[in-house]
Structure 1
Amino acid sequence: DIVRGKDLFLGHQQRKIQLEERLQKMFANIQSTIDQLKGLSIDEVREYWWALNRQEIWKAITCEAGTSDKYFRKTCGGDENTATQASHKCRCGDRDVTIVPTYFDYVPQYLRW
């Protein structure tokens, strides 16, 4: 959400401004080095970068997480005693992380909470 400019940043306003300025500068730099991006807006460059890198970001967040780290809550089962969650961090057991197992990054943030 932060990379795509869609984050509902609820923290300190000055930090939000600083973060956004740094991101704008970073994406302007990417835009200036790739000829295909020169006619796009910064928001379009952000979306382009995210589409190109989301799989690697997912892998970095999930596959390198420790075994005790939790990023999914138990959801399946008839009641709280039979709820289960994805094993082996969804697809990391055999290092086959070819598909990001969620598209929540495209769901508005306020609907995910």
Structure 2
Amino acid sequence: LYLGKKKKKQKGKETETERDQLESKLKKIFGDIYKELLTTKNGAQTYYEDNDTDKNYYKLREDWWNANRETVWKALTCHAHGTYFHATCDSGDNRGCSQAKDNCRCKDGDLTKETDQVPTYFDYVPQ
């Protein structure tokens, strides 16, 4: 969804893509968060100086993601019922990757305990 589709022409005019629509919504959401932060007396005003002329709030987005990454990942996998759609784990049988069995948690190197790290291919927020 975030990559969106190429611009479509409708009645001779280019329309917004899904990515454009999502980006507009993200700008509004993080703009609202930004305004709220500026009304508090916790140093956010200095930290998030208003020098982002495009109002993309990239610094705020990055900080939000860093603070909420684990919670977002748990929300994404909470109804996976112990399995996941992508082969991510090496089961140790020399047959390659297998499906993770506990919300995309793979056992650590010695296969004794589960790890709870977000897979690296999800540890990224496009900006």
Instruction: Show the 5 A alignment for 1:97-112.
Output: 99-106=116-123
**When the two structures are superposed, what TM-score results if normalisation uses the length of structure 2?**
0.56
Partner Cα separation in structure 1 for residue 102 and residue 123 of structure 2: 24
Cα RMSD after superposing both structures: 3.2
Which structure has the bigger radius of gyration? Answer: 2
Count of aligned residue pairs for this structure pair: 94
Partner Cα separation in structure 2 for residue 56 and residue 103 of structure 1: 16
Question: 3-state SS of the aligned residue for 2:87?
Answer: coil
More helix by share: 1
Task: Report whether the alignment pairs 1:60 with 2:75.
Answer: yes
Task: Structure 1: state its 5+ residue gaps.
Answer: 92-97
More strand by share: 2
Q: Aligned residues: percent identity?
A: 21
Instruction: Show the 5 A alignment for 1:34-53.
Output: 34-35=37-38, 36=44, 38-39=48-49, 41=52, 42-53=57-68
Check whether the contact 1:73–1:85 (CA below 8 A) recurs between aligned residues: yes
Partner Cα separation in structure 2 for residue 86 and residue 68 of structure 1: 8
Task: Structure 2: state its 5+ residue gaps.
Answer: 8-15, 39-43, 107-114
- CA distances 1:72-99 after superposition (whole Å, capped 9, x unpaired): 315414125xx433332228xxxxxx95
Structure scoring higher RCO (CA < 8 A, sep ≥ 6) equals: 1
Runs in 1 of length 4+ with deviation above 6 angstroms? none
Partner Cα separation in structure 1 for residue 88 and residue 121 of structure 2: 16
